[in-house]
Amino acid sequence: MRVILQRVSRASVLVNSNIIGSINNGLLVLVGFSDTDTSKEIDYIVDKIINLRVFNDNMGLMNKCLKDVGGSILSVSQFTLYADTSHGRRPSYIKALNGDQAIILYNEFNKKIKEAGIKLETGIFGANMQVSSINDGPVSIIIEKENKNGEK
């Protein structure tokens, strides 16, 4: 599982010119799944995202987590996070989980964020989305958790 999180002062996602999700002060989280991901990887990533200290304290140091600042998450599925560009000029997505299975994990990921008490907005899985954000800092972090055993 791979995510890119960006600390944002504001972010939104549009589908067919309609805003379907927007947040202020929080994290824009781009989420991708590989063909070996399970609930274990989701649990690890969710815990990491909501407890990662990437927000400034009163001294200007990144010592606060999402919960500390009452921040929100805008979750956007993005299979292209598993693009392999090592050969040729067209990315291969062979390691990305197929859509029928990925939507199940994406919904589980979002459910676990909500269960943690975080305000959540989302894009629409598989839709053509226009994502806008104002990156605060800027702060952008890649988090990965690989299922090394390939166990489902």
Our answer to whether residue 80 is catalytic in this structure is: yes
User: Taking the CB of residue 89, how many other CB atoms lie within 10 A of it?
Assistant: 5
**Per the residue annotation, which of 36, 80, 85, 122 is the catalytic one?**
80
Identity of residue 115: E
Per the CB < 8 A criterion, the answer to whether 23 and 133 are in contact is: no
HSE value, Cβ hemisphere, 13 Å, CA-based, for 40: 10
User: Taking the CB of residue 54, how many other CB atoms lie within 10 A of it?
Assistant: 21
Per the CB < 8 A criterion, the answer to whether 69 and 98 are in contact is: no
User: What percent of the chain is helix, strand and coil (3-state, nearest 5)?
Assistant: 25, 40, 35
Q: Which residues contact 115 (CB under 8 A, 6 or more apart)?
A: none
Residues marked active site are found at: 80
